[in-house]
Amino acid sequence: MKKVFLTLVILVSTLAFSQSKENRKERMDSEKMAELHVKKMTLDLDLTEKQQKEIKPIFLEQAKKREAKRNELKMRKEKGEKLSSDERFEMKNKALDNQIEMKSKLKNILTPAQMEKWENNKKKRSNKAKKHAKRIKSDKDEK
């Protein structure tokens, strides 16, 4: 009886933790992502109500662009298509243009002190992402 019970417990726990990959990677919609981003910025930079209202549409637009690009790349990957070097260059060029546009919009909304803090936080996030990417790459190389 103990063996049957133990087997059932193991089976149920295995089924409970084995989700499909798609369920685990479910993404938030653009509206929710923008809302969370504004709230995080409000906490970090102590934004006023006016600043929050001005920034939210910018982040919403950015989130929609990112989601559309992600879907486009996902479709290409499913078809087995790879980006040419010219397409990669164009994609990176557009991404940098978007970053420049975003920075100029934020400069018009944030105070100089808030802008400085935002840029410092951005550098920290970038460094953290680079370290994470190196760790993942070294983990893959070891396997």
DSSP letter for each residue of 50-113: HHHHHHHHHHHHHHHHHHHHHHHHHHHHHHT----HHHHHHHHHHHHHHHHHHHHHHHHHS-HH
Q: Which amino acid is at 104?
A: S
What are 44-81's pLDDT values in tens digits? 999 999 999 999 999 999 999 988 998 988 898 888 88
pTM here is 0.68
Give the domain ranges of the chain.
27-80+93-111
Q: How does residue 130 score in pLDDT terms, banded at 50, 70 and 90? A: confident
Q: What is the pLDDT of residue 19?
A: 54
pLDDT at residue 8 tops 90:
no
Give me the percent of the chain exceeding a pLDDT of 90: 43
